[in-house]
């Protein structure tokens, strides 16, 4: 038998190196799969929370200028409990509108020609307005808010189409998306919606 005819047997260190490399590759793929799965679960949970409890909305239009402007991105909270002055979003003709709660069911709303708003014969304080206006009003005043509805108005009263107009009217509970709570975009406007 010649010296060259012998079969080559790997050294123990070579076998161990190949084993360690295979083990590392297996652990790496398991860690990647686990990480990707965790990202999918977290993303699905975030989408579920956003859809069910905290819808995120992008603002279009000028009816709430000063409070929320066109292009702002806001977080709203699902609820049907509001107080006067809350900013709410609701469905109207396959769109989502954003307005401010002025009165709740059973309240009487009246507006004078200068744009002053009265609820149950008391003038309400509106520090969020930059200017008052009678606006596009075609309802009969004083107006009593029907049961399970809210009366809403935009902060930019001269251009806002809201509960003062029969085309929108008072808003039913089923239409409500939620109460706006926080502005998240642009970063310069980040903060609570007041």
Band of the pLDDT at 113, cuts 50, 70, 90? very high
Quote the pLDDT of residue 68. Answer: 92
Positions annotated as catalytic residues are: 63, 99
Look at phi and psi of residue 41 and say left if phi exceeds 0, alpha if psi is from -120 to 50, else beta: alpha
Yes or no: say if 78 and 53 are a contact pair by the CB < 8 Å rule: yes
Q: Whole-structure pTM over 0.85, yes or no?
A: no
Quote the pLDDT of residue 1. Answer: 45
- Is the pLDDT at 156 greater than 70? The verdict is yes
CB-count burial class (<10 Å; 0-12, 13-18, 19+) for 12: exposed
Q: Does the domain spanning 57-192 belong to CATH 2.10.109.10?
A: yes
- Is the pLDDT at 47 greater than 80? The verdict is no
Mean pLDDT, residues 164-186 taken together:
92
Quote the pLDDT of residue 20. Answer: 86
C-alpha 185/C-alpha 74 separation (Å) is: 7
Q: Give per-residue pLDDT as tens, 70-104.
A: 899 999 988 888 889 999 999 999 899 999 999 99
Band of the pLDDT at 3, cuts 50, 70, 90? low
Quote the pLDDT of residue 188. Answer: 87
Where along the chain do its domains lie? 11-52, 57-192
DSSP per-residue codes, the chain: --GGGSPP---HHHHHHHHHHHHHHHHHHHHHHHHHHHHHHHHHHHHHHHHHT--EEE--SSTTTTTS-TT-EEEEE--S---TT-EEEEEETTEEEEEEEEEETT-EEEE-TT--EEETTEEPP-TT-SS----S--SPSSEEPPTTEEEEE-SSTTT--STTSTTT-SEEGGGEEEEEEEEEESGGG-EE--
C-alpha 46/C-alpha 43 separation (Å) is: 5
């Amino acid at each position: 038998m010649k010296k060259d005819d012998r079969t080559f047997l790997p050294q123990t260190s070579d076998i161990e190196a190949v084993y360690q490399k295979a083990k590392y590759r297996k652990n790496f793929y398991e860690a990647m799969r686990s990480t990707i799965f965790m990202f999918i679960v977290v993303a699905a949970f975030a989408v579920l929370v956003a859809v069910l409890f905290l819808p995120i909305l992008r603002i279009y239009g000028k009816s709430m200028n000063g409070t929320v402007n066109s292009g702002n991105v806001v977080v709203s909270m699902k609820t049907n409990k509001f107080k006067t002055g809350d900013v709410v979003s609701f469905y109207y003709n396959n769109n989502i509108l954003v307005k401010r709660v002025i009165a709740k069911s059973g309240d009487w709303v009246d507006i004078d020609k200068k744009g002053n708003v009265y609820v149950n014969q008391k003038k309400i304080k509106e520090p969020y307005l930059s200017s008052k206006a009678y606006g596009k009003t075609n309802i009969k005043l004083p107006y009593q808010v029907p049961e399970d509805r809210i009366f809403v108005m935009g902060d930019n009263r001269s251009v806002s189409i809201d509960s003062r107009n029969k085309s929108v009217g008072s808003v039913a509970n089923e239409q409500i998306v939620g109460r706006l709570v926080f502005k998240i975009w642009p970063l310069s406007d980040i903060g609570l919606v007041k």
